């Protein structure tokens, strides 16, 4: 399969609102020129999702997603050792893209306030991220969520490769998905939650990003998985996924070894829906990704409010298996903490 690598900066969209370049990239080279999107406000989807991991024991997940009709603010705290997940969230209605999430995944500050006359279920949640060239500073206050408070410095080496895709949809040239993902970036700071304090340092804690902008079909489906760890003193993380868009020019399947991207082809998720909690398996057509994820925490969710529907099957657990780098080197993976998801949306 063709894997078109984007290597030159440009605007994301032409004057018609179609992608100028289609494919994958190692850096977010394309400028999200939202002013060229010709569709109505309720079709534009924008979000930021952050994950903080500490010692394979705890994870804090924070999401802000403005899908036009409303902005969803969600927070999760995972205790991996206890196989427990606490999840809260709420909605801020009729935001119409005015949440002002930055148009650049590497620049601009994110400030989100979960209060106001059109907010439901947020209980005063506030979080902010200030971006610098080589780091971000994250803070959250959410007293209604077991006293959650955190202050974290998120280090990032801009020279390292990351996962970037610019994906069109066959149905309509106005539809697209621009996505930037990171993992295994060191962080330090602290998290206070449920009368405990978790101290993070760069040797045992890291963060990840899922940043996206797009115009999606009303009905969509995707599968995504990622995990990170160290093998014989080397950093390794991977991103796998598919299920949406026109993938004739690229996939989002990539292996990152000491900060260098190794591009792979198609990956298939094998999920036994009849037996929740059974291992998820992942195979690739080129044999370079062969993995098994043993679930520890299951997070299924189904919400149908007529116009909006989501059917989510998400698992957190430990990956084992192998990946093969561009030079043919085979890397054995054992107990990498990560997640995988199978999600359908009507939005």
Q: What's the whole-model pTM score? A: 0.95
Closest CA to 266 of 21, 22, 82, 3: 3
Of 127, 132, 138, which Cα lies nearest the Cα of 156? 132
Selection from 288, 264, 290 nearest residue 279 by Cα: 290
Greatest Cα pair distance in the chain: 57
The DSSP result for 269-295, as a single string, is EE--TTSTTSPEEEEETTSSEEEEEEE
Q: How confident is the model at residue 117 (pLDDT cuts 50, 70, 90)?
A: low
Q: Does the structure show a pLDDT above 70 at 115?
A: no
pLDDT number for residue 99: 82
Instruction: Please classify residue 250 by burial: count the beta carbons closer than 10 Å to its beta carbon, then call 0-12 exposed, 13-18 middle and 19+ buried.
Output: buried
Pick from 176, 137, 245: which is nearest to 30 by CA? 176
pLDDT digits (tens, 9 = 90+) for 227-237: 999 999 999 99
Mean pLDDT throughout 261-273? Answer: 97
DSSP, collapsed to helix, strand or coil, labels residue 42 as helix
Mean pLDDT in residue range 244-271: 97
Half-sphere exposure (Cβ direction) of 229: Cα atoms closer than 13 Å: 22
**Inter-residue contact 288 to 324 (CB < 8 Å):** yes
Asked whether the beta carbons of 302 and 278 are under 8 A apart, the reply is: no
Question: Is residue 67 within 8 Å of residue 41, measured between CB atoms?
Answer: no
Residue 110 · residue 101 · CB < 8 Å: yes
Please name which of 168, 319, 312 lies closest in space to residue 240, comparing C-alpha atoms.
319
Tell me which H or E stretch contains 198: strand 196-200
For all residues of the chain together, what is the average pLDDT? 94
Rounded CA-CA distance 337/293 in Å is 9
Q: Give 5-23 pLDDT, tens digit per residue.
A: 999 999 999 999 999 999 9
Share of the chain above pLDDT 90, in %: 83
Higher local confidence (pLDDT), 99 or 23: 23
Can you read off the two tokens belonging to residue 5? 């690598």
Residue 113: per-residue pLDDT = 81
For residue 277 the two structure tokens come to: 């909690």
pLDDT at residue number 120: 66
pLDDT over threshold 60, residue 137: yes
Residue 90 pLDDT greater than 90, yes or no: no
Tokens of 215: 């115009």
**Ordered strands of the 330-346 beta sheet:** 260-263, 254-257, 234-242, 219-231, 330-346, 309-324, 289-304, 280-284, 267-270
Give dist(CA 318, CA 244) in Å, integer.
25
Residue that wins the pLDDT comparison between 306 and 174: 174
Q: 94-98, 125-129, 294-298: which range is least confident on average?
A: 94-98
More confident residue, 118 or 187: 187
Of 316, 314, 156, 184, which is closest to residue 254 (Cα–Cα)? Answer: 184
Rounded average pLDDT over 130-149: 95
* Three-state DSSP state, 17: coil
CB 74 within 8 A of CB 67: no
Four-CA torsion 131, 54, 257, 244, nearest 10 degrees = -70
Q: What pLDDT is recorded for position 122? A: 65
């Amino acid at each position: 399969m063709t894997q078109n690598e984007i290597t030159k900066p440009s605007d994301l969209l032409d004057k018609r609102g179609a992608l100028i370049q289609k494919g994958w990239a190692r850096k977010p080279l394309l400028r999200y020129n939202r002013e060229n999107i010709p569709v109505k406000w309720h079709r534009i989807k924008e979000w930021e999702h952050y994950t903080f991991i500490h010692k394979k024991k705890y994870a804090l997940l924070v999401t802000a997603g403005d899908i036009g009709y409303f902005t969803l603010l969600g927070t999760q705290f995972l205790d991996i050792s206890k196989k427990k997940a606490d999840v809260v969230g709420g909605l801020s209605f009729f935001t119409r893209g005015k949440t002002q999430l930055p148009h650049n995944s590497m620049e601009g500050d994110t400030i989100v306030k979960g209060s106001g006359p059109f907010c439901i279920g947020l209980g005063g949640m506030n979080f902010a991220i200030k971006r610098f060239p080589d780091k971000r500073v994250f803070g959250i206050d959410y007293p209604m969520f077991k006293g959650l408070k955190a202050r974290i410095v998120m280090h990032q080496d801009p020279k390292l490769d990351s996962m970037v895709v610019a994906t069109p949809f066959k149905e309509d040239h106005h539809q697209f998905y621009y996505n930037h993902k990171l993992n295994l970036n060191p962080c330090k700071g602290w998290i206070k939650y449920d009368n405990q304090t978790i101290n993070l340092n760069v040797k045992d804690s890291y963060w990840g990003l899922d940043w996206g902008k797009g115009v999606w079909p009303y009905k969509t489906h995707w599968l995504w998985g990622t995990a990170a760890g160290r093998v014989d003193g080397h950093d390794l993380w991977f991103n796998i996924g598919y299920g949406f868009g026109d993938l004739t020019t690229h996939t989002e399947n990539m292996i990152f070894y000491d900060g260098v991207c190794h591009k792979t082809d198609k990956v298939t998720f094998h999920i036994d829906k009849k037996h929740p909690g059974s291992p998820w398996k992942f195979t690739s057509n080129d044999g370079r990704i062969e993995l098994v994820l043993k679930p520890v925490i299951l997070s299924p969710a189904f919400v149908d409010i007529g116009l909006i529907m989501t059917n989510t099957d998400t698992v957190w657990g430990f990956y084992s298996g192998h990946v093969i780098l561009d030079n043919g080197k085979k890397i054995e993976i054992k107990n990498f903490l990560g997640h995988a998801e199978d999600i359908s949306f009507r939005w």
